[in-house]
């Protein structure tokens, strides 16, 4: 099988801290990692895509690498939150289903084929060591036409973000995420947008959106 990460420099998806992620994410962190304006931009994107509680029909959404809050303006009818910390997921009031799972240890999603209408990943894509494999799995569990929305900012845990993320600029991150989505091989052409006003004082928020083919 062709290496899905071929062509990236050696060590691109390595981290400074290669301890098992379960150790690092063991203590609950009930904090937000972007400011209020960026959080609002995430919720606005989800509403624009029609994947929150304002959608005309009930939707089932997968929130990858989730925590105690999922940033929907109004929660969707069904929200599957998948993350590393059981206490954080238990505190997520919007969740209807909670899955503790380490995607770096096992990129396979414990969900059936075509199980969800949409998938989101908020400010976490930079921690994946096997991102193309994970995104291919997202394609497997998404129903045809379902959107994938990946949002990211300029903050991270630097010891757990992959080296390639830390060594590329904010302007390059969008192209990187779009390339990872393309390599998954099951999405329409990814679209990059800046969701917060350019040049603002707060946290910037970018989004890459694609749809399951």
Tens digits of residue pLDDT in 82-103: 999 999 999 999 999 999 999 9
Dihedral angle over CA of 114, 183, 24, 76, nearest 10: -30
Residue 49 lies in a domain: yes
By residue count, the chain amounts to 213
Tokens 């390339």 belong to residue? 179
pLDDT band at 147 (very low <50, low <70, confident <90, very high): very high
According to the model, what pLDDT value does residue 201 have?
87
Residue 25 lies in a domain: no
Indicate whether 73 pLDDT > 60: yes
According to the model, what pLDDT value does residue 86 have?
95
Residue 11 lies in a domain: no
Contact 161, 127 (CB under 8 A): yes
In whole angstroms, what separates CA 192 from the centre of its chain? 14
pLDDT band at 132 (very low <50, low <70, confident <90, very high): very high
Indicate whether 180 pLDDT > 60: yes
According to the model, what pLDDT value does residue 3 have?
85
Residue 82 lies in a domain: yes
According to the model, what pLDDT value does residue 145 have?
98
Tell me what the mean pLDDT of segment 171-179 comes to. 96
Tell me what the mean pLDDT of segment 50-58 comes to. 95
Q: What percent of the chain has pLDDT over 90?
A: 87
Parent domain of 144? 33-211
pLDDT band at 142 (very low <50, low <70, confident <90, very high): very high
Residue 206 lies in a domain: yes
Sign of CA dihedral 206, 78, 62, 209: negative
Residue 20 lies in a domain: no
Indicate whether 78 pLDDT > 90: yes
Look over the chain and give the mean of its residue pLDDT values, rounded to a whole number.
95
Tell me what the mean pLDDT of segment 149-156 comes to. 95
What is the Cα–Cα distance from 56 to 62, expressed in whole angstroms? 18
According to the model, what pLDDT value does residue 1 have?
53
In whole angstroms, what separates CA 132 from the centre of its chain? 12
Q: How many domains does the chain have?
A: 1
Q: What is the pLDDT of residues 12-49, one digit of tens each?
A: 999 999 999 989 888 777 678 899 999 999 999 999 99
CATH number at residue 76: 3.40.50.150
According to the model, what pLDDT value does residue 27 have?
77
According to the model, what pLDDT value does residue 5 have?
84
Contact 153, 173 (CB under 8 A): no
Residue 7 lies in a domain: no
CB-based burial of residue 169 (10 Å sphere; 0-12 exposed, 13-18 middle, 19+ buried)?
exposed
Residue 79 lies in a domain: yes
């Amino acid at each position: 099988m062709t290496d899905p990460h071929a062509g990236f420099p050696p060590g691109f998806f390595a981290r400074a801290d290669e301890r098992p992620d379960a150790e690092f994410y063991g203590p609950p962190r009930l904090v937000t990692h972007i400011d209020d304006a960026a959080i609002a931009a995430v919720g606005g994107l989800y509403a624009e895509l029609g994947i929150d509680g304002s959608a005309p029909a009930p939707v089932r959404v997968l929130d990858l690498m989730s925590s105690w809050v999922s940033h929907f303006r109004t929660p969707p009818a069904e929200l599957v939150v998948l993350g590393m910390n059981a206490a954080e997921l238990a505190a997520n009031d919007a969740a209807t289903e909670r899955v503790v799972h380490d995607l770096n240890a096992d990129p396979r999603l414990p969900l059936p084929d075509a199980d969800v209408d949409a998938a989101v990943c908020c400010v976490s894509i930079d921690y994946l060591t096997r991102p193309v494999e994970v995104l291919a799995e997202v394609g497997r569990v998404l129903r045809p036409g379902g959107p994938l929305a990946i949002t990211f900012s300029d903050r991270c845990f630097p010891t757990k973000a992959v080296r390639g993320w830390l060594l590329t600029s904010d302007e390059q991150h969008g192209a990187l995420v779009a390339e990872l989505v393309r390599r998954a091989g099951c999405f329409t052409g990814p679209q990059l947008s800046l969701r917060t006003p350019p040049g603002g004082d707060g946290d910037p928020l970018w989004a890459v959106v694609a749809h399951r083919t």
